[in-house]
Structure 1
Amino acid sequence: LGTGTPTSPFRIGLTCFTLLDQYVNIQRDPRCTTLFHVDSTHSIVKMKYPVFVFGISDSCGKFFPIVYFCTSQRTGTDIEWCCAFLKRVLWETFVVQFSPQFIMTDADNAQFN
């Protein structure tokens, strides 16, 4: 988990089987286009740690969260850790590689690194 310092960042990912299963079903369905979203916010928790939300949207624009992350920093390394977490959980749980067709992000600097 880390202590939240620059040399030992705090990082945690939260999801559940149902959210991951829904993503896997959509990714496997050839009729569906997988539009994956990465969004971030900050200052919503007491420690003001950044919160990242990964999810998908359907053709009507409805957003479906897959996993939430809380990190003590907001760097490209944190985004990399979050992506690796999601890939690992999908592989270990469903033996599925994370392979969305499209990825959409907001203008957060950490996501550009």
Structure 2
Amino acid sequence: MLGDGYTNVAVVSRADDYGVGFNAEFEPAIASGGGTIVYNTPYAPEATSFDDVVQDVVASGPDAVVLVAFEEGIQILQTMVEQGAGPDAIQIYITDGMATGELGVLMMRATQVLLQE
């Protein structure tokens, strides 16, 4: 991420062991590389809406977002797109928890729903 030129990073992570474990390693790595974490407030994975989370991320002014999620990450990405903060506006990195063979299909479905609205 830092090697890609992104230095103001928002971390959107689950409030569980997966998110905490990721942050324990990620935050010091970003800081030691000269980057700044501009947002890092864990979310409840069982949440049904992520509008507030995405609004707070956008308000923090990141040039990159790290999404530490599982399947609910699709809903977060969809909310980011709806709020004009999708991958065409902000660089988004995902963790292995979202790296499934269905990610592309799920994103296509989410995008199609947005286009139909």
TM above 0.5, yes or no, is: no
What TM-score do the two structures reach when normalised by structure 2?
0.27
User: Please, what TM-score do these two structures have when normalized by structure 1?
Assistant: 0.28
Richer in strand (by share):
1
